Amino acid sequence: MQRRSRRMIEGLEKAPHRSLFKAMGYTDEELAKPIIGVVNAGNELIPGHIHLDRITEAVKAGVRMAGGTPMEFRVIGMCDGTAMHHEGMKYSLMSREVIADSIEVMAMGQPFDGLVLVTNCDKIIPGMLMAAMRLNIPSIIVSGGPMLAGMWEGKKVDLISVFEGVGAVKAGKMTETQLAELENAACPGCGSCAGMFTANSMNCLSETIGLALPGNGTIPAVSAARIRLAKKAGMQIMRLVEKDIKPRDIATLEAFENAIAVDMALGCSTNTVLHLMAIAHEAGVPLSLKTFDEMSRRVPHICSLRPGGPHFLEDLDRAGGIPAVMKEISKKDLLHLNVLTVTEKTVGENIALAKNKDKTVIRPIDDPYEPEGGLAILYGNLAPEGAVIKQSAVSAQMRAFTGRARVFDSEEEATQAILEGKIKAGDVVVIRYEGPKGGPGMREMLTPTSAIVGMGLDKEVALITDGRFSGGTRGAAIGHVSPEAAAGGPIALIQEGDLIEINLPEKRLELKVSEEELQQRRAAWKPLPPKIKAGYALRYAKMVSSASEGAILKL
């Protein structure tokens, strides 16, 4: 099979093309080798990406060692933490599609023989994986690794500790001086934030699907092992090119089911539901909320990681990482072991020698934290198409809860009410018109949920939204309520004081209002005008699908 890169390199008529490459210093010897596109998401805006130039150089070294010629290009990336709680967060999920599209453009304009995707944080990882599926040329993803936990007043802390500290100051439980000290200690250096938040969730699941090397999800950013892994990824892409092993050969339905199984065992971010469905869509693999619901009921929760538990990614790495988690759940036949991976081996072969080195971090399959998975899918008259909750981060007394609706049409309004002490025990905070279309962009709600926790209300107050949550959210926080308010979903019909029932054991989310009353409200309902009236956000709002379909763009 002729290599793709020959289309722009070989033959008499490609002399002008070769001349342009030589203008950049490439030699005939380099141009004769397989050409590997190395996609670098490094920038000076994201702690998880500040060191990606070094990771990228290691990848390129690996490519050269294995006989290839690396050619680097960049993609955008934004930090959800610094975009939180202002208009910038509307563009976070939107950026996933821009990243996928831009990689497609580059790899079609310059036909590489293979791709190495260097990434680390929230939307960049799924955007890169979507591009890999769409292009379907030999590809491997390598992350920059997780941040170490910080230390403050003798305990481990992370970014979420700071978010929750804001609410603690408002509640008089912490001084502003203490918060400043925490602020300086919580994020000690480079890497994706230290808990099982969205970035680390997706890095772990990239490994689980089989599109990253073992260790990709958990080796700390500052470890030399992270550099060695990047070099190995650069070397391994050459093997994938040689054997023409492509992403869709690996990312089958069985591979996605493996990823969802590990997702449930770890208690990953609710955002994984959106992203796995979007990646599967690009791969042509049928995946729906039904699959997540089925796996949630079958796979026990065996790791209690931040924000729901005490452990950090560095702890999971020391305990054996994702291979050890997969080995543990495979004991109950919860994995497809014959699925191919980028190692050229099967999942079963990859985890054959894995060991659980710390059973306090990775619980034995027969002694789980909970018999069901970390995520749950809820249905009911308030969410006919489904809603998502990280049930592993919900306290026992909130697993079955009925409360009074406090209704807000934006995140800012709700956050102000929470911080001003207007939300009381027994309330259900409803934040609507923040979905994919209504936001637009389906903002994360880490600020209001952290404020609820910081003020000590997480065992007495719930929050539901057609928006989404950071992987750092904990408490009775239900997101992705579908259909969203902007599409006329039932969440748009809630009125102040309505009773809302949340029942995690029965997987139900109900608005305790008669159908006759809801019909009257529906007849009188009018959508809010678009919140953004120009540019990419407006185009996105017109094209984006429901969260229940992964918030993908449709023509």
Residue 294 makes CB contacts below 8 A (sequence gap 6+) with: none
What pLDDT does residue 1 have? 67
DSSP state of 70: E
| Residue 139 annotated among the catalytic residues of the structure | no
Two tokens at 318?
Answer: 């020391």
Q: Radius of gyration (Cα) for the chain, nearest Å?
A: 23
What pLDDT does residue 471 have? 86
Q: How many residues does the chain have?
A: 555
pLDDT in tens, 190-207: 999 999 999 999 999 999
How far, rounded to the nearest angstrom, does the alpha carbon of residue 295 sit from its chain's CA centroid?
A: 18
Among residues 5, 450, 470, 548, the one annotated as catalytic is: 470
Classify burial at 487, counting beta carbons within 10 Å of its beta carbon; exposed 0-12, middle 13-18, buried 19 or more: middle
Which phi and psi (to 5°) does residue 68 adopt? -115, 175
Residue 113 makes CB contacts below 8 A (sequence gap 6+) with: 3, 4, 5, 34, 35, 36, 68, 137, 138, 241
Q: What is d(CA 142, CA 389) in angstroms, rounded to the nearest whole number?
A: 28
Query: What's the maximum distance between 2 C-alpha atoms anywhere in the chain?
Result: 76
* Residue closest to 118 by CA, chosen among 212, 25, 258, 248: 212
Classify burial at 467, counting beta carbons within 10 Å of its beta carbon; exposed 0-12, middle 13-18, buried 19 or more: buried
* Residue closest to 347 by CA, chosen among 248, 276, 254, 236: 254
Classify burial at 516, counting beta carbons within 10 Å of its beta carbon; exposed 0-12, middle 13-18, buried 19 or more: exposed
Residue 305 makes CB contacts below 8 A (sequence gap 6+) with: 195, 196, 266, 267, 311, 312, 313, 315, 316
Q: Which residues of the chain are under the pLDDT cut of 70?
A: 1
Residue 17 to residues 8, 30, 32, 104, 393, Cα–Cα distance (Å):
6, 14, 13, 20, 55
Q: What is d(CA 275, CA 281) in angstroms, rounded to the nearest whole number?
A: 10
pLDDT in tens, 302-358: 999 999 999 999 999 999 999 999 999 999 999 999 999 999 999 999 999 999 999
518-522's contacts with Cβ under 8 Å and 24+ in sequence apart are 518/381, 518/490, 518/493, 521/493, 521/495, 522/488, 522/493
- As beta bridge partners, residue 417 has none
Two tokens at 312?
Answer: 């950090």
What pLDDT does residue 555 have? 78
* Residue closest to 207 by CA, chosen among 149, 160, 266, 158: 266
Which phi and psi (to 5°) does residue 488 adopt? 85, 20
Q: What is d(CA 351, CA 215) in angstroms, rounded to the nearest whole number?
A: 11
pLDDT in tens, 157-193: 999 999 999 999 999 999 999 999 999 999 999 999 9
* Residue closest to 138 by CA, chosen among 9, 34, 30, 226: 34
Q: What is d(CA 508, CA 382) in angstroms, rounded to the nearest whole number?
A: 9
Crossing angle, helix 159-170 and helix 411-419, to 10 degrees? Answer: 60
Ramachandran assignment for 11, one of left (phi > 0), alpha (psi -120 to 50 degrees), beta (any other) = left
8 A C-beta contact, residue 473 and residue 463? no
Residue 8 makes CB contacts below 8 A (sequence gap 6+) with: 14, 17, 110, 111
8 A C-beta contact, residue 369 and residue 360? no
Query: Which residue type is seen at 265?
Result: A
